[in-house]
Amino acid sequence: MEEKSVRRGFLLSKGWLQAVVIVMLLGFTVLGILAYKTYEDGAPVPVKVFDPQGQLLFDGDDVSAGQQVFLHNGLMEYGSVFGHGAYLGPDYTADYLRRSSNIAIAGNGGPPVDQDGMEIDGSDSRPDPAGDVARQKTIDQFRDNQYDEDSGELTLSQTQADAFRKLIPYYTRYFSVDDTEHGLRPEAITDPQDLRNLTAFFAWTAWAAAADRPGKNYSYTNNWPSEPRVDNKPTANALVWSAISLIALLGGIGLLFGAFGRYRDLGWHGREQTVVSFRDPSTVSLTPGQKSTAWFFFVMAVLFLIQCFVGAAVQHYRAELTSFFGFDLAVILPYNLLRTWHVQLSIFWVATSFVAAGIFLAPMIARREPKGQGKLGYFLLIALAVVVFGTLIGSYLGIHGVLEDAATNWFGLQGFEYLDLARLWQVLLVVGLVLWAYMLFRVMRSRLRSEHPGNMPWLFFLAACAIPAFYAVGLLAQTYEQFSVTEFWRFWVVHLWVEDFLEIFTTVMVAYMFVLLGVVRERVALMVILLDIGLYSVGGVVGTMHHLYFSGTPSEHMALGAFFSAIEVVPLTFLTVEAWSFLQLGANQESKSETEFPHRWAVMFLVAVGFWNFLGAGVFGFLVNLPIVSYYEIGTALTANHAHAAMMGVYGMLAIGLSLFCLRYMIPSKKWPDKWAKVSFWGTNIGLAWMCFATLLPLGIMQLYKSVNDGYFEARQFDFLTDKTANMLEWLRLPGDLVFIIFGAIPVLYICFLGVKYTIARRGEGDGEGEADAELFTVISGTSMEDEPPDMPARPEPTPGT
Amino acid sequence: MNTEVLLAGGYGVLLLAGAMVLEWLSRHTHNRSQAWRTSGFDYDAQHDFWVCHKGEQLWPAEFDREKRLVRYRAKAAVCNACPAKGDCTDSNHGREITRAVDSWPHSEAGRFHRAIAVMLVLLAACELGVVLIRNHDPVEIAVLLPLLWVSVVALWWLARDLVRTPDGFPEAMPAHGNRIGRNKQT
Ligand code: HEM
Ligand SMILES: [Fe+2]
């Protein structure tokens, strides 16, 4: 590309950029304040905990050690605390609270309990005045907060202290049983000290769940979980902010559609397309960097398929806990190991596709590729493979107890759900992503120099940089830190990735693809991108707090989280209905063209992304978003429903769509397996929709019903899953899962295999370093689009398609 | 009547309603994106012409049978002299606007949404069927059977429509000579 001495100015009016910068700054300022409040006002871990006689029950180090036992043994991938984690096992906060309050009631003269802290059946049917007194006493004991902020010491009531002592043997039996009845490995935890600390950790979360915050009439967790035995019920805040956020959503949607109804075109009224004829993709010569992406996509497809198989095994535990078609799977692959593999693979394969697509697009944008990009590409791929397989093996060793303590933390698993990987791999992954951003930079360097930082090349580069930057925030979560704090940083990654920066990177990438194809003008694309960044960030940044309603964080987190995350749904609705149609429009071929549009199935996958963004993220996300709903449903199948529909529906479909887009250039047109692309499109979409609607959604509704009616503890019991209706639902998803794997994942693997095959076959072809192919995707006849000379210089006569 | 029947009945209704909402939304998006492309232009349905924001009229010029769309065009001389031409078109033959019966990818996106709706209804039928096999007192049959019947009818109706609707993906048109070039073919 000709080096321009003058920088190209910003294509839009400055107001666009200012608005976006202000939104970001405000959002992160608020998030910064909330970070401070989390450290200040998060549920405190007492330095020492005493019984009324002044005997030490446990201390702060025990709680921290117990938290590490919990995390490093992969228990957050089995059950949960504060509602966060996996859903097969119980929520240990609710579990400890139920058992300890039962023991306390018995201790106060109420109905007796068994050695597990459960009521003996049939003990409470008739009116029972003694029991009522005992229950009221228990409520008072649990809610009374005897934590001394100055000394950091906490004194529990006698009954709470007794409960703690009685529950150590219970959890000891539970975790050390030499059997796979819980879906954990036999003798999962046997060290008495570990078991004691683990119980102390559960005891601390349960204390925080019931003890009133100083000066408030609700607990540190905003009264979560619902538990009549300690008078835990939704707070007024939860109700008020649910109502306000509902109004915010409806108002926001109304406003935006109103505004767009009035200014229908925001300045881009339907301009007639130039005549476009698409180059036959196989005549586009590829750079070494671009060719390396064939391998990335192949690895992506392999990981995707493995994730599916692991997912099938995870599901099998829910349908039939103790036998895997007659085989005791949990001895080798316990539930929590499979669950952590499943979750981590989903992140890995999607990230692999994003990374590859970035490497593929950069030279198209820059129109050059410096020497060595291909080698760097292969190096990055190997590094990625090391991280992925290191993580998988580490999780295995960690959960099987081969590694211990610090070794688990660094090489086994840290155990935070979604950030499970050991610290070594986490650091390496950050390094790998930084290397990736550098690879994009070296390709685009001169292009960036000639552009205003608000224009598309910069936005592409900055959006890419945000991915490692926000992944690195996860390093702030340390397994020994107070749990509210680790949850706070964990969700910076989990939430800000998927609900802000990945959405942004997606829009930039997709918009750029269409600009490069010559079907959307750069100005229009830029507007859509900036609108998108603004709209997503208004709600998405502060909206992070919708994960921290009940994690021991102050009620501000709940109020702001509920309000702003409700606004997140506005762009999802709006962009689906409005702006995604610009992408559909992008491929529109009403102007006559003699070459076929080459990206039929890539575009259809983008259509699917739009659909799932609306349904999976928008509708199913909002379904669990109101504090009052979240209060009852957190950690149930309704969350799984949202998580699958949003994660696979949006980012999974996108990852596949991007791979098809790029592979179309690597596989010769005559060999392009259009039929398999079609099969995978229908297979993944129908399979996913079936999974959600046949099982996860109805099961979630049933579980929510159970939780409101009978209690959260009951809804999370394993009995619930084995209830005959629930069990029927678990089996009903089987056809969908089969469709998803056989017609979805396997064809994707085949197509990616072809990509590798033909890239090898065409090795050496057009490997001239330096200048990339001057003619890229498209040939545009007619006047070139006036506002984007650097991208689309007028072309010579088109090469007719094959 | 046990709770499973109530739940299944309720959920069956929900699925059917979901399919209906999806059908409606799909049509709505389709119209919105259609409107997007023609924004700035007003359509006069009675006389079948468009008016651009400068007040010029575009009349039907051609019906493209293959792509199932009508092309409307403004007078070339007027457009070529128009100060807004740069933002409007680069054709020298007058601004053209099309009204598609259903063009790709909307056509195929529509099929995608329709297929999901078919799946929802199929699921409703399966679920109601399974529950009916498990629970069949007279009362339960009275609740489930009509719902099952509605699902099957809806399924048949939607699926038939899905099969009949073409995907509308444009075939490549073999070049016949003069089509390649700097100007739009007229
Ligand atoms: C593409 C975008 C999105 C993706 C990929 C996504 C993914 C996920 C995942 C994987 C979880 C499970 C986390 C866990 O188990 O701890 C989750 C939870 C949640 N999501 Fe989303 N989400 C998206 C958008 C949204 C939106 C737009 C909203 C709301 C407006 C939302 C609201 C929630 C809430 C409230 C939870 C917590 C539920 C719980 O912990 O029980 N999400 N999301
Ligand atoms: Fe979130």
pLDDT digits (tens, 9 = 90+) for A708-719: 999 999 999 988
CB within 8 Å: B126 and A732: yes
A155 touches chain B (CB under 8 A): no
Ligand nearest to the CA of A498: 1
Residues A69/A80, Cβ–Cβ less than 8 Å? no
What's the first-to-final CA gap in chain A, in angstroms? Answer: 28
Identify all chain B residues contacting A796, using CB atoms and an 8 Å cutoff: none
> What's the whole-number mean pLDDT along residues A320-344?
85
3-state class (DSSP) for residue B96 = strand
Q: Give every strand in the sheet of B96-100, ordered side by side.
A: B42-44, B49-51, B57-64, B69-73, B96-100
| A256-270, A276-290, B126-140, range with the lowest pLDDT | A256-270
If one compares B119 and A4, the residue with the highest pLDDT of the two is B119
Residue type, A361: L
CA distance A269 to A289: 38
Q: Whose CA is nearest to atom 34 of ligand 1?
A: A625
Cis peptide before A112 (omega within 30 of 0): no
CB within 8 Å: A272 and B96: yes
H or E element in which residue A771 lies = strand A770-771
A698 touches chain B (CB under 8 A): yes
CB within 8 Å: A577 and B119: no
Atom of ligand 1 nearest to the CA of A539: 30
Residue B103 predicted with pLDDT over 90: no
For the CA atoms of chain B, what is the radius of gyration? Answer: 24
Chain A residue nearest residue B89, CA to CA: A272
Residues A496/A476, Cβ–Cβ less than 8 Å? no
CB within 8 Å: A581 and B185: no
Judged on CB neighbours under 10 Å (0-12, 13-18, 19+), A498 is buried
CA distance A472 to A468: 6
Nearest to B54 by CA among B30, B75, B32: B75
Q: Confirm whether the ipTM is greater than 0.90.
A: no
CB within 8 Å: A724 and B4: yes
A262 touches chain B (CB under 8 A): no
Residues paired with A80 in a beta bridge: A85, A91
The model's pTM = 0.89
Ligand nearest to the CA of A569: 1
Residues B52/B84, Cβ–Cβ less than 8 Å? no
CB within 8 Å: B112 and A274: no
> What's the whole-number mean pLDDT along residues A636-658?
96
- pLDDT at position A524, please? 78
Task: Please provide the size of chain B in residues.
Answer: 186
Chain B residue nearest residue A727, CA to CA: B4
Neighbour tally for A793: CB within 10 Å: 14
Among partner residues B4, B86, B175, which is closest to A800 by beta-carbon distance? B175
Residue B157 predicted with pLDDT over 80: yes
Neighbour tally for A29: CB within 10 Å: 12
> What's the whole-number mean pLDDT along residues A692-700?
94
Among partner residues A604, A725, A781, which is closest to B182 by beta-carbon distance? A781
> What's the whole-number mean pLDDT along residues A288-317?
95
Neighbour tally for B186: CB within 10 Å: 12
- pLDDT tier for residue A589 given thresholds of 50, 70 and 90: very low
If one compares B53 and A28, the residue with the highest pLDDT of the two is A28
CB within 8 Å: A596 and B171: yes
How far does the centroid of ligand 1 lie from the alpha carbon of residue A489, in Å? 16
CA distance B31 to chain A (A): 10
Measured from CB, residues less than 6 Å from any atom of ligand 1 are: A 84, 417, 498-499, 546-547, 565, 568-569, 572, 617-618, 621-622, 624-625, 630, 634-635, 639, 642-643, 646-647, 650-651
- pLDDT at position A796, please? 34
CA distance B34 to B102: 9
> What's the whole-number mean pLDDT along residues A720-743?
89
How far does the centroid of ligand 1 lie from the alpha carbon of residue A83, in Å? 13
E-strand stretches of A367-444:
368-369, 413-416, 419-421
Identify all chain A residues contacting B87, using CB atoms and an 8 Å cutoff: 269, 271
Residues A628/A238, Cβ–Cβ less than 8 Å? yes
> What's the whole-number mean pLDDT along residues A46-64?
96
Q: Nearest 5°: phi and psi at A733?
A: -80, -10
Per-position b or e across A391-405, b if 16+ CB within 10 A of its CB? bbebbbbbbbbebee
How far does the centroid of ligand 1 lie from the alpha carbon of residue B57, in Å? 50
Residues A123/A112, Cβ–Cβ less than 8 Å? yes
- pLDDT tier for residue A584 given thresholds of 50, 70 and 90: very low
Interface test with A, best of B36, B52, B171, B186 (most A CBs within 10 A): B36
Identify all chain B residues contacting A271, using CB atoms and an 8 Å cutoff: 87-89
Could you please report the per-residue DSSP string of A778-791?
EEE-SSPPTT-TTT
- pLDDT tier for residue B40 given thresholds of 50, 70 and 90: confident
Among partner residues B11, B123, B185, which is closest to A690 by beta-carbon distance? B123
Identify all chain B residues contacting A600, using CB atoms and an 8 Å cutoff: 105, 169
CB within 8 Å: B108 and A582: no
CB within 8 Å: B100 and A590: yes
> What's the whole-number mean pLDDT along residues A105-109?
94
Identify all chain B residues contacting A270, using CB atoms and an 8 Å cutoff: 36-41, 97
How far does the centroid of ligand 1 lie from the alpha carbon of residue A643, in Å? 6
Pocket test for ligand 1, best of A82, A572, A642 (most atoms within 8 A of CB): A642
pLDDT digit string (tens) for A233-281? Answer: 999 999 999 999 999 888 888 887 776 655 444 444 455 554 556 777 8
CA distance B7 to chain A (A): 8
Residue A226 predicted with pLDDT over 60: yes
Name the pairing type of β-strands A778-780 and A770-771. unpaired
If one compares A771 and A241, the residue with the highest pLDDT of the two is A241
- pLDDT tier for residue B34 given thresholds of 50, 70 and 90: low
- pLDDT tier for residue B165 given thresholds of 50, 70 and 90: confident
Mean pLDDT for all residues in chain A: 87
- pLDDT at position A743, please? 97
CA distance A600 to chain B (A): 8
Q: Above pLDDT 70, what percent of chain B?
A: 77
Q: Above pLDDT 70, what percent of chain A?
A: 88
Pocket test for ligand 1, best of A419, A489, A573, A639 (most atoms within 8 A of CB): A639
Name the pairing type of β-strands A153-155 and A48-50. parallel
Cα angle, residue A224 at apex, residues A346 and A97 outer, rounded to 5°: 100
Instruction: Report which DSSP code applies to B173.
Output: P
Q: Whose CA is nearest to atom 1 of ligand 1?
A: A646
> What's the whole-number mean pLDDT along residues A543-550?
95
SS (H, E, C) A194-240: HHHHHHHHHHHHHHHHHCECCCCCCECCCCCCCEHHHCECCCHHHHH
